[in-house]
Amino acid sequence: AKILLLNGPNLNLLGKREPDVYGHDTLEDICNSLIEKAKQEGHELLQCQSNREYVLIERIHEAQDEGVAYIIINPAAFTHTSVAIRDALLGVSIPFVEIHLSNVHARESFRHHSYLSDVADGVICGFGAQGYEFALQSAISKIAK
């Protein structure tokens, strides 16, 4: 099945950006490894990173036309601000998992609230790049059901 990986603003800077918080892997490292793992399990992983909210929203809309079965999303700072991304995900009714590299609950209080968590299948945070692998595993097992 098709699985869409979405990454929000500033995640293009991974590897260089606050490595003590976000780790040393680049987004390309993370995406390439996930594409390979998905392929091994017989799935196709599509990916999109954008610093623009509307690009992510339109990518979510396209996912419906493409028959994407599952979305893995790190909405980055849009987690804490975007009713529009929440509405897009609800609008296409594609199930999704929310993921963060850092443990947002151990950080500033403005990161404790998410506009997506209550409508996500689950939330993974605090495991760095490994969290993306957990998210892929959970997506694959949800698709199998």
> Least Å distance between CB 29 and ligand DQA?
15
> Least Å distance between CB 13 and ligand DQA?
9
Selected range binding ligand DQA among 47-55, 87-95, 96-104, 133-141, rule: CB under 6 A = 96-104
- 115 is an active site residue: no
For ligand DQA, the closer of residues 76 and 88 by Cβ is: 76
In angstroms, the Cα distances linking 89 to 24, 49, 57, 106 are 30, 16, 8, 26
Helix (H) / strand (E) element for 48: namely: strand 44-49
Residues 6+ apart with CB under 8 A from 68: 2, 3, 4, 46, 94
Question: How far apart (Å, rounded) are the C-alpha atoms in residues 94 and 92?
Answer: 6
Our finding on whether 7 is near ligand DQA (CB under 6 A) is no
Residues that bind ligand DQA (CB under 6 A): 10, 74, 76-77, 79, 100-102, 104, 111
